[in-house]
Amino acid sequence: MVTNQSDTFDIGGESVHRLGFGAMRLCGENIILGPEDEDAALEVAREAVDIGVDFIDTADSYGPGTSERLLREAGVVDDAFVATKGGLLRNHDGDWLPMGDPDYLRNAALASIDRLGVDSIDLYQLHRPDPDTAFEESVSALAELKDDGLVDNVGLSNVSVEQLETARDLVEISTVQNHYNLINREHEDVLDACESAGIGFIPYFPIRAGDLDEKAAAIDDVAEAHEASRYQVALAWLLGRSDVTLPIPGTSSIEHLRENVAASQLRLSDDELVRLSEYA
């Protein structure tokens, strides 16, 4: 069995557990406005911290602004390492629109600081490169925020290996957040680059529940052997894939939250990791 898997990862000198919580689902339907039951959403956030989660990911575009506000109101910001993102707008139709203008990013960071109720942001991530703004200008804006003490660590999201290397010439990059899971390996090269550089890799959509049906046989065999669910196996595979992965499964359900966090205790054997990797 795998015995040397690290349970923690250091971001800017601060150690966090490698299975975090994605706070996107604290918002309403389609990640717009607030949830139907805000008290229930607050309880989910509190429960995450109570059961040991100390890394929470959010963004100013979730709501917009709702997820950050709820984390502050839940009282969990001081008890967890909070990563937020800027550089993605929402319009009235709910579309996601890149906005990497340096002035906008600075104002967005200040707004996030206010909503979270902090003096500085633990980890501030460029949510998506903006085709209408030079990538270097966007990253330089985040570097200036760090120099000014408004941001402790800088991260990227939805980037290529080339963009990662470009950004690293401008500022220390602590994490990269890209779409990646047991089924979707499009950004395998970015994960490999992060692993080589010791940069945290935050796979979003870490479970992608519906897609697991297509690969049910191998996943179900492993799940049965460990008396676990498919979704726990998918998370355990991510944790076993590399010591730099930081999965952030999101949910609005305390039951699902507990199930997700329990996956951090599931250790897959080398053979199981290989089998799932080859099969999917």
In-domain check, residue 265: no
In-domain check, residue 21: yes
pLDDT of residue 4: 62
User: Which pLDDT tens digit goes with each residue over 16-45?
Assistant: 999 999 999 999 999 999 999 999 999 999
In-domain check, residue 273: no
Domain span holding position 138: 8-207+244-250
In-domain check, residue 224: no
In-domain check, residue 269: no
pLDDT of residue 218: 85
pLDDT of residue 209: 58
In-domain check, residue 132: yes
User: Which pLDDT tens digit goes with each residue over 132-159?
Assistant: 999 999 999 999 999 999 999 999 999 9
pLDDT of residue 124: 99
In-domain check, residue 171: yes
* 180 is a catalytic site residue: no
- pLDDT tens-place values along the chain, 280 residues long: 344 689 999 999 999 999 999 999 999 999 999 999 999 999 999 999 999 999 999 999 999 999 999 999 999 999 999 999 999 999 888 899 999 999 999 999 999 999 999 999 999 999 999 999 999 999 999 999 999 999 999 999 999 999 999 999 999 999 999 999 998 999 999 999 999 999 999 999 998 756 676 677 888 999 999 999 999 999 999 999 999 999 999 999 999 999 999 999 999 999 999 989 885 5
pLDDT of residue 210: 60
pTM over 0.75: yes
pLDDT of residue 1: 38
For residue 107, what is the domain's CATH number?
Answer: 3.20.20.100
Residue of 62, 124, 204, 231 marked active site: 62
Q: Domain total for the chain?
A: 1
In-domain check, residue 73: yes
Report DSSP letters for the chain, one per residue: ------SEEEETTEEEESS-EEGGGGSSGGGBS--S-HHHHHHHHHHHHHTT--EEE--TTTBTTHHHHHHHHHT-GGGSEEEEEESEEE-TT--EEE---HHHHHHHHHHHHHHHT-SSBSEEEE-S--TTS-HHHHHHHHHHHHHTTSBS-EEEES--HHHHHHHHTTS-EEEEEEE--SS--TTHHHHHHHHHHT-EEEEESSS-GGGGGGGHHHHHHHHHHHT--HHHHHHHHHHHH-TTB----B-S-HHHHHHHHHGGG----HHHHHHHHHH-
Q: Do you find a cis peptide bond into 64, omega within 30 degrees of 0?
A: yes
pLDDT of residue 157: 98
Cβ(179)–Cβ(187) below 8 Å: yes
Alpha carbon distances (Å) from 109 to 15, 117, 180, 182: 23, 12, 26, 32
